Amino acid sequence: YKFVVDRPGTSFYHSHSGFQKVDGITGSLIVRSPINMDPHRRLYNFDLPSHVVVLQDWLHTAADDRQPGLRTVLGQAAASLLINGKGIYAPNIWEALSLKT
């Protein structure tokens, strides 16, 4: 795609197709001003890609193996969590993260 962006900012893109949404087609879209036009340039020393963090849930099966978006379908809970598209598969992630009382 080609498009013209006329104002800087931070956005989140995602697919509106159920299968693509479940399979994680998402990400960040950062539009930066030239440094001499950035009104916030005095507030930070560096503007690095590593400063952007995208958190996602992740299912261990492909979207076509499930019916996306239905709460009544078993197994809709995420299998793991991703940070910037990276993570580990931990079959018992929710047990490890649950609050112990």
Residues 6+ apart with CB under 8 A from 29: 10, 11, 12, 13
Closest CA to 77 of 39, 1, 22: 22
What is the percent of the chain where pLDDT is above 70? 69
| Burial state string for 51-69 with b = 16 or more CB within 10 A and e = fewer than 16 | eeeeebebbeeebeebebe
What is the model's pLDDT at position 82? Answer: 84
Answer yes or no: is pLDDT of 101 > 60: no
pLDDT tens-place string over residues 8-51: 888 888 877 766 766 778 888 888 888 888 888 888 888 788 88
Give the model's pLDDT for residue 93. Answer: 60
Q: What is the pLDDT of residues 64-94, one digit of tens each?
A: 666 655 555 565 677 778 888 888 776 666 6
